[in-house]
Each structure stands twice: as C-alpha cells, then as structure tokens.
A and B are shown apart, each in its own frame.
Chain A
Amino acid sequence: MSTPLGAGLGFKPEFAEDALNARDQGLWFEVHPENYLVAGGPRLALLETLRASHPVSLHGVSMSLAGVEPPDGDHLRRLAALVDRVQPVLVSEHLAWSRFGGGYAPDLLPVPRTTESLRRLAGNIQRLQDALRRRVAIENPSHYLQLDHDWDEVEFLHELVRRTGCGLLVDVNNLAVSARNVGLDASAWVDAVDSAAVMEIHIAGHRPDGDASTGLWIDSHDAPVSAPVWALLERLTARIGPRPTLLERDAKLPSFEELVAERAIAQRVLDHATDPGRDAGGDAKSDAKSDAGNDAALARSPFLPFDLRREESLT
C-alpha cells in the first residue's frame, strides 16, 4: 500500500465513472459484498475495475453474527471467494443479527448484551475470521430500543476483541443516533474505546423520525454529516490518531462533487490528527502500537438492490 487509507466513500454504481477517475489523496471505496456475491456479469466486472484503480473495502451486512444460528456455510464460502478475488484492504461486519429460522430480514437487528450473546458472537466472529483468514472489524450498532443489557457496550466490544482478535469499526454517527435514542454517552464511548482495536471509522448523516412524536433519530445515510458527528470524529481521532474513515451515503445522493467535498472535510480531520504538532494527550505510546497493528491488517491485504438505510415511514 503506497498511500495510507484516508477518507473513503461508499461506492455507488450511479457515480462509477467519476469514482474510477477520482485521484484524491487517500481516497478509497467501500462496498457491501452482498451486492457482488454473483456468478459473473457487469456488476462483478465493475468491482474488478474499481479495485484496480482504488483500494476497496468489503462491509458486510448480512452475516448475522449475533444470530443464534452459526453463519451460513455457503455464504461464508462465497464471501471468502470474493475476498480472495478482490483482496480488500479492510473487511467489516456488524454487531447485529438478521437471520432467523431460515428467513432473512434486510436490517441490522439489535442484540441484548448478555454473556450468552457475547459467547455466541465470539464463536461466530471466529468462524468468519477463520473462513476469510483475516482480521475483521466489527461495527457498533445504532440503537432504537431500550433493552436489558448486562454489559456496557465498549466493555462488550473489548471482550469480543480479546476473545477473537477481531478489530472494531467505530461508527460515530451510530453513536450520535444512539445518544439521542437511548441515552448512550457518545463522548465517554469514544474516550474509552481501545485505540489498538480500531481499524476503521464510519461517518454518515441521520435525520429525525418522520413521526416526530417518537423523538428518535434515524440512521438514514441520506443527509450530510451533522455537526455532532464531526465533533465525535475529531474527538476520536485526536486521541487515537487517524484511521481509514468512510463517508456513507446511501440515499438522496448528491452530485459526486458534493460527496467529494464532504469527504475532503473528513480528510482534513484525519490530516490534522496526523500532524505531529497536534496535542496528542498522554496516549502517544498506544497510538504507535495501534498504527502498527493497522498497517499489519492492511498488509494482509455499492445497486441495489441493497442499500442499508432506514425508513421511518412506508408511505
């Protein structure tokens, strides 16, 4: 990897030509592998073209790692084949479930953080990493429900890292949404997360629920990144240093130029976090360790139909 991964964009076939020609420093693209688990054809060919011009990350949405059933063996094998073919710079999945009794729900369903959940997740993450023969980053969820949790979220994620060697994908928009919806302390969360575990960061836009009476924020990926989310990105990277940071935009797509301009803001935040003159606090030693771990992870190395976005209304 000649250029470190800076700020990336979620890839959309709608702006494929612009994306292939973009030469911004540190730019990379992320796709949902589910859209490319096909036998052949132009979609797969486009992904091949994209990986030849830019680093590509695979961000899975349907492995159902928090499910009571182990990951589907056929899905694992086909994902492993795609990973071999694409050689992504990063692979990630979610702390969520979506399969039950032979059915699949196109969403990231919530899981109570119990010791049983932890055990099942650790086993499933291990199966995934064994199948892919690489470290996978696990993303923190957006919360919409008050559930009976036995574990603090950061401690739960740290325990998964300890048991499986997985990494973490910190979605700071999910933190902002969860702070609003269930009272999560987003600042304390980003201050507590283990620097060495963080492989990637996500930023995205959200919006209020269409039913204003709920007071909920929706992780909709259909709006520019909000000020609280930028603040969380700055707070996190000021402490742990820069990480590959992805701008997710799945709906109400603006022009590619607008996306590139928004992505450039993220790049400036990362560049500022890289600046040796910055106030790094007392975490310099752990920064060095985490950067080395991240580089090692890299060295081992979206049409819908499927945008993972939320809808507040069916009409």
Chain B
Amino acid sequence: MTLASFQEDFWRALWIPPREGAPIDAWPPANQPGFAVYRNTVLSGCVDALVSLYPAVHRLAGEAWMRAVAMEFAQASPPSAGELQHYGDGFPDLVERVTADGDVPWLADVARLDRGWNHSHVAADGPVLDLPTLARQDADRLSTMRLRPHPATRWFTSADWPAFSLWQAARTDGADPNPPHWHGQSSLLTRPHGAVIACEISPAAVALLDCCAPDTALGEALDTVQARFTDADIGAELARLLQQGAFLCPPAFITESTS
C-alpha cells in the first residue's frame, strides 16, 4: 500500500453519503465505526460553513431546508481550499434551481446578497473617498477624474423581488420581514468604517456605479447616467454613494490632503 493509494481509497469512501444498510466497502478501514466520524465531520464542516456564510437564507428558509440544500451542495461541490470563508460561491445558483417552481422565487437573490456581504467583509482595505474631499477638487479636473469603487463595495439588483428588504430583515432579525412594496430593488454594500453596511439605492445610482467601475471619467459617467435617467438628480445620487463610502480615494487626493 502506498500513501497515494491509501488516500485515494480514503477520499473515495469519504464522499459517499452515509446510508442505512449501505454495502460493505471494498476498502476495509471504511467499514470501521470510526470512519463515520471522519465522514460526518467533513460533511458537517461543509454544511456548517454554508449555514454560517448564508445566514439570511438560513433564517428565511429554516434549519431543515438550509441543511438539506447545503448538504446537496457539499456533496456535489466539495471545498477546494482550507479557507472556508471563500466556499460556496455557487450556492445561490443551487438555491435558484431548487426554488425555481416554488413559492420563494426571491430566495436565490437573498443568497446573492449574503454572498455579496461575504465578499465585502473580507475585501482589501483602502482609503474611502468622502464628500468633502471631492468637493475640494477643481470642477474641470473632477470631470476627467476616474472614481473607482472601493474594493469592499458591492451592488446588486434584484429585478423582480424586494430581495434587499427581505435580506435586511433577516440579517437584522427584523420583526416583520414582509416588505411594504413587492417590486424589484437595488442595494449597495460598503465598508466605510470597518463593518459592512447596506442600503437600498436607486437604479440611477446602480447605473453610475456600473459606469464608473470600468474606469470611465466621472464627467462622462454622469452624462451617460443623466441621459438614461432624465428625472434623476445625479449630483445627489453621487453624494449619497460618497456618504456610503462606495468609492476608493484616488492617491492624488490623499497626497494633496496630507501635504
């Protein structure tokens, strides 16, 4: 027996779901009672990670449903790395498949918000651009500036469902998770002062973030969004995004403010 053959046999037996009356495994150690300890620990570790990473789904769908779907995910998609905070990015897609014909069609978008929160929570640090700093800049220069979303900024649109209200109520143990308006919602996750914060944003604000992200000059981004949303107060939308800490402070601004 080589180490490789031992580990190959072990690994194969490990991922077979435990069942009552399962046939005797051809590999003897898998038939010892202790083998179930490894098998259960591994699957529980995956399921616990998903429960922890998708707390809003867990709360809204309940313990039994969450653990069953998490188990299905873990058996089909074992982790690829030891840092389980990055595990389960495909979980919202599984939620979408298993809820496709049911009465919770919004649950996959709630899962996508949980995933966005996870990504924001562990994203790189960086200086946040605030409104006073931006206001100090010369207007002509501003229009050619490129504002980049902060590494921890995530924005998400649920086209048909109030996923953000449902998600927020679940994350904050809100008393009434039933949103007042049953329509699509866009939302923003940012990390201006350490913790991740969340708010609902307008479609125009989403368009502005979409425009700025690929390195578009601010003036061009504002003009593009204004043309699409003629009634929107684009300046106010930009100010709101800045107040939420959505943008990274450009290095040039930091140099100026410290000199």
Give the B-binding residues of A (Cβ under 8 A). 34-35, 37-45, 61-63, 66-68, 72, 75, 97-107, 109-112, 114, 116-117, 120, 143-148, 181, 209, 211, 213-216, 218, 303-307, 309-314
Residue count of chain B within 8 Å CB distance of chain A: 53
Min CB distance A20 to B, Å, is 15
- CB atoms of A214 and B82 under 8 A apart: no
- CB atoms of B34 and A144 under 8 A apart: yes
Residue B84 interfacial (CB < 8 Å): yes
Q: How far is the CA of A112 from the CA of B28 in the complex (A)?
A: 14
Give the A-binding residues of B (Cβ under 8 A). 1-4, 6-8, 10-11, 14, 18, 29, 32-38, 40-49, 52-53, 71, 78-85, 87, 120-126, 151-152, 191, 194-195
- CB atoms of B194 and A42 under 8 A apart: yes
- CB atoms of A35 and B85 under 8 A apart: yes
> Does more than half of chain B's interface fall in helix, strand or loop, or is it mixed?
helix
Q: How far is the CA of A151 from the CA of B36 in the complex (A)?
A: 25
- CB atoms of B1 and A304 under 8 A apart: no
Which residues of A lie under 8 Å from residue B6 when comparing CB positions? Answer: 111-112
Min CB distance A281 to B, Å, is 35
Which residues of A lie under 8 Å from residue B18 when comparing CB positions? Answer: 314
- CB atoms of A106 and B82 under 8 A apart: yes
- CB atoms of A305 and B52 under 8 A apart: yes
Which residues of A lie under 8 Å from residue B126 when comparing CB positions? Answer: 40
Q: 9 smallest A-B Cβ distances: which pairs?
A: A62-B82, A144-B34, A106-B45, A40-B125, A38-B122, A214-B33, A311-B44, A39-B124, A40-B124
The residue in chain A whose Cβ has the minimal distance to the Cβ of B67 is A314
Which residues of A lie under 8 Å from residue B43 when comparing CB positions? Answer: 314
- CB atoms of B1 and A311 under 8 A apart: no
Which residues of A lie under 8 Å from residue B38 when comparing CB positions? Answer: 105, 107, 109-110, 144-145
7 residue pairs from A and B, CB less than 8 Å apart: A42-B191, A100-B8, A109-B38, A112-B3, A143-B34, A306-B83, A312-B37
Q: How far is the CA of A110 from the CA of B38 in the complex (A)?
A: 9
- Contact partner of B40 (CB less than 8 A), chosen from A67, A148, A314, is A314
- Contact partner of A75 (CB less than 8 A), chosen from B4, B29, B53, B81, is B81
- CB atoms of A41 and B3 under 8 A apart: no
Given A103-B78, A214-B33, A43 and B87 contact (CB-CB distance below 8 Å): no
- CB atoms of B37 and A144 under 8 A apart: yes
Given A42-B195, A144-B35, A311 and B40 contact (CB-CB distance below 8 Å): yes
- CB atoms of B123 and A39 under 8 A apart: yes
- CB atoms of B81 and A114 under 8 A apart: no
Which residues of B lie under 8 Å from residue A72 when comparing CB positions? Answer: 81
Given A41-B121, A68-B3, A311-B44, A145 and B81 contact (CB-CB distance below 8 Å): no
- CB atoms of B52 and A104 under 8 A apart: no
Which residues of A lie under 8 Å from residue B152 when comparing CB positions? Answer: 40-41
Which residues of B lie under 8 Å from residue A310 when comparing CB positions? Answer: 37, 40-41
